[in-house]
Amino acid sequence: MNPLLQPFDTAPFSKIQNEHFKPAFLQAIEDARAEIDNITNNPSEPSFENTIKTLDFSGQQLDRISSVFFNLNSAETNEEIQKIAQEVSPLLSEFSNDITLNPALFNRVKAIYIQKDQLKLTVEEDTLLDKKYKSFSRNGANLSEEKKKRLREIDADLSKLKLKFGENVLAETNNYEMHLNDENQLDGLPEGEKEAAAQLAESKDKEGWLITLDYPSYIPFMKYAKNRALRKKLSLAFGSKGFHNDELDNQENILKIANLRHERAVLLGYKTHAHFVLEERMAETPEKVHEFLNELLEKAKPAAEREFKQLEDFAKELDGIEQLQKWDGSYYSEKLKQKLFDLDDEKLKPYFKLENVIAGVFKVAEKLFGLKFEEVSDIDTYHDEVKTYKVKDTNGNLISLFYADFHPRVGKRGGAWMTSYKPQYIKNGENVRPHISNVCNFTLSTPSKPSLLTFNEVTTLFHEFGHGLHGMLANTTYPSLSGTSVYWDFVELPSQVMENWCYEKEALELFATHFETGEIIPMELVQKIKESATFQEGMATLRQISFGLLDMSWHAADPSKITNVKDHETIAFEDTILYPKTIETCMSTAFSHIFQGGYSSGYYSYKWAEVLDADAFAYFKEKGIFNKEISTKFKDNVLSKGGTEKPMILYKRFRGAEPKVEALLERAGLLQK
């Protein structure tokens, strides 16, 4: 019996075998096709109820199977799962095309869309109708049969290429190890990091120490290791993922993805892939994105150049470094930060035991939104490291289930993300509550110390938890408008705004206690955290702008003339370069956000959302960071509303006005005094 084909509430991870997936997909696709046939064969006149609403609630079992499978492919993958992903992705693309290119279905949707003004729909119903119509028109419903056929071919190819791109990046990350046998080579590394490196080596039956390209291993080495040659070696390995002209090389994959995306957009009547994507974003056009990035560039570049010169002078004075290189940046930045603020992660980490930070983010959510998190052990998980919680409101009503998976391991891709195993929606009078997951890659515990987070890891946890809240507090009728189903340049607002609480004394006092003594973090350290928050903000902003510009360079123009990935990237980065160029490295070949994830033509949205979050948090600061009135307005107008209305309407309802870019520039210290 296939557990994926039985009705299930929580995902039945322990019962699922790999061989269950493909048959489950095939059956669920067949069942979903039958649901679509029921809509198109309905003899009644098309109505919102019998077409739009029924369509939105169709294919729910397929969606659940997909969420379980693709989350496992990110958090607990292996060669067999990756092979299944390559087999089922084209099937899912084909099925998706079968819906959007189904003329009978489109005709029913179109018939309702044409008379929408007479239908007296609610705001949410109107948004859903608009979204459904565009899902057809933006995906080829108005094309000729010949062009529809080509669109299907493109989508099938893209689904495979994006998977292959991600698999190559993961393999490159997993394949690299820097094996050290001389403890002097780890000079500068804090004891906890040395211990972690020794533990990693031991886990692989090796003597000495292992450093890998996983962030908890890579970042501390780049930040603390005195050995410049080893920093260079590790930096070049990290920066050259997918750029070795071997079987894991991603250059050809990138060129194919970029060209297929462009061809697809042109086929649909758009100038470029970016024009296609941005039509459904707050930014609206590539021109507006470039205008936004260039405005930030103008403000950030002078600050970045001043900061870089300060760093160069510091490295030269400290160690006689004549030419600062990329592999020197983190090391000397950390040293300079310690000098300027007498602050480093090693002083902070004892106050950020993982369990305490988790309890802290829960406490913040309770004070803001009245949520209670209760850890439970009766929910099935895919790995014994995954923790599960029931989330309830102040009246004891179930709001959500929450899964938390916080440590790196083989088979888990790098980075951090929020995902959903079950969406929220209202059906037959029942408000079905969501199942939400946060997946991260945080520092592991060692024999002598628990998992102690860097401050950056603390802000990452709060960030992903913000996405989680967006999913947990969803309160909409239709699943496709629920939770994080919003414009991509709005989706980062809930996550980025949550990071602000990490810098506030009132919030830190709730959870930042020394793991050995229980002492609350000293206020002078809190003050230093706040003072150092804008340290090298110009350089950090320039870096984010460079990624946004690189993304637009691939997607806002015809890529057919691009023959050399590295040369193209070099031109895209021209206005944002601080460090000397390195011929061995290439950003694009491991830029998973835009070539595997959903950020193509959307990387700018991180900075865009920072404007929103800086403006939003200024409102909290003005009224009090735990002000109930403001947090309720944020919950009711942003977190619970999903994609039921245009983001700017929701934001203005919360804030009373459009956001001001000055809020971000002021917070980042980029406004000239």
403, amino acid identity: Y
By the 8 A CB rule, do 128 and 562 touch? no
246 contacts: CB under 8 Å, gap ≥ 6: none
Which strands sit side by side in the sheet containing 387-392, from one edge to the other? Answer: 372-376, 387-392, 398-405, 435-439, 417-422
Alpha-carbon distance 336 to 329, whole Å?
10
Q: Which of 65, 5, 67, 60 shows the shortest CA–CA distance to 36?
A: 60
Burial of residue 267 (CB within 10 Å: 0-12, 13-18, 19+) is middle
CA-derived radius of gyration, the chain: 25
Alpha-carbon distance 454 to 440, whole Å?
13
Helix axes of 145-175 and 251-267: crossing angle, nearest 10 degrees: 160
Q: Which of 585, 600, 587 shows the shortest CA–CA distance to 232?
A: 585
497 contacts: CB under 8 Å, gap ≥ 6: 466, 612, 613, 616, 617, 634
Count of Cβ atoms closer than 10 Å to residue 144 Cβ:
9
Count of Cβ atoms closer than 10 Å to residue 319 Cβ:
13
User: Which residues are marked as active site?
Assistant: 464
Alpha-carbon distance 442 to 422, whole Å?
25
Count of Cβ atoms closer than 10 Å to residue 499 Cβ:
19
Two tokens, residue 576: 């944002």
Q: Long-range pairs for 232-237 at CB < 8 Å and ≥24 separation?
A: 232/325, 232/327, 233/178, 234/178, 234/327, 235/326, 235/327, 235/585, 236/327, 236/582, 236/584, 236/585, 237/176, 237/178, 237/213
